[in-house]
Amino acid sequence: MKPISSRDTMKRDMMEIICCPVCKSELALEVKKENDAEVLSGSLMCKKCNHTYRIEDGIPNLLPPGFE
Ligand SMILES: [Zn+2]
């Protein structure tokens, strides 16, 4: 598991390798819009610290709380 780079687009199989940048725990993916390869819109929620990271235009915003 490694923190996701904010330059990567969000692909479903990335769920296996990414984790919360704050506490390194698993993230829960909620998809609002997707195509064959990528999640275009939705959110990633940390199961431990409950911070939600938004996905917009295929790019996950994984800035830790306080850096937005
Ligand atoms: Zn967390």
Q: How confident is the model at residue 43 (pLDDT cuts 50, 70, 90)?
A: very high
pLDDT at 62: 81
Calculate how far, in angstroms, residue 52's C-alpha sits from the geometric centre of ligand 1: 9
Calculate how far, in angstroms, residue 54's C-alpha sits from the geometric centre of ligand 1: 14
pLDDT at 16: 87
Calculate how far, in angstroms, residue 25's C-alpha sits from the geometric centre of ligand 1: 5
Q: How high does pLDDT run on average in the chain?
A: 87
pLDDT at 53: 92
Higher-pLDDT residue of 56, 65:
56
Q: DSSP assignment, residue 31?
A: E
Mean pLDDT of 22-33: 94
The two structure tokens encoding residue 51:
């911070």
Calculate how far, in angstroms, residue 57's C-alpha sits from the geometric centre of ligand 1: 23
* pLDDT surpassing 80 at residue 5: no
Main-chain dihedrals φ then ψ at residue 32, nearest 5 degrees = -100, -35
